[in-house]
Amino acid sequence: MANNPGAKKAVRKIERRTEVNKARRSRVRTFLRKFDEALAGGDPAAAKAAFVEAQSELMRAVSKGVVHKNTGARKVSRLAAQLKKQSFA
């Protein structure tokens, strides 16, 4: 356990940061779920709009350090592939 003032402060900062990151990760998952629902709905326009929002939110999480850059790029790539596959079906 932390037993000097600097370490105790670091623990407090980490707790606050963890809460913020948890909220950001949850927000990303929400947008991904909305994209999946739009895809399942079968409306290409709605799916495209949901894709744009999900991509934006994922890249925002990358810039905030919640998600690694390559992870964000991989997820966006897979979303785009799903969208393309659904558009031609």
Q: For 13-71, how does the pLDDT look when each residue is reduced to its tens digit (9 = 90+)?
A: 999 999 999 999 999 999 999 999 999 998 899 999 999 999 999 999 999 999 999 99
Give the per-residue pLDDT at 34.
97
- Residues spanned by the domain of 46: 5-88
* CA atoms of 30 and 27, how far apart (whole Å): 5
- pLDDT attached to residue 86: 87
pLDDT at 89 over 80: no
Any idea what the CATH number is for the domain that residue 45 is in?
1.20.58.110
What is the tally of structural domains in the chain? Answer: 1
* Per-residue pLDDT at 12 exceeds 60: yes
The rounded distance, in Å, linking the Cα atoms of 19 and 83 is: 32
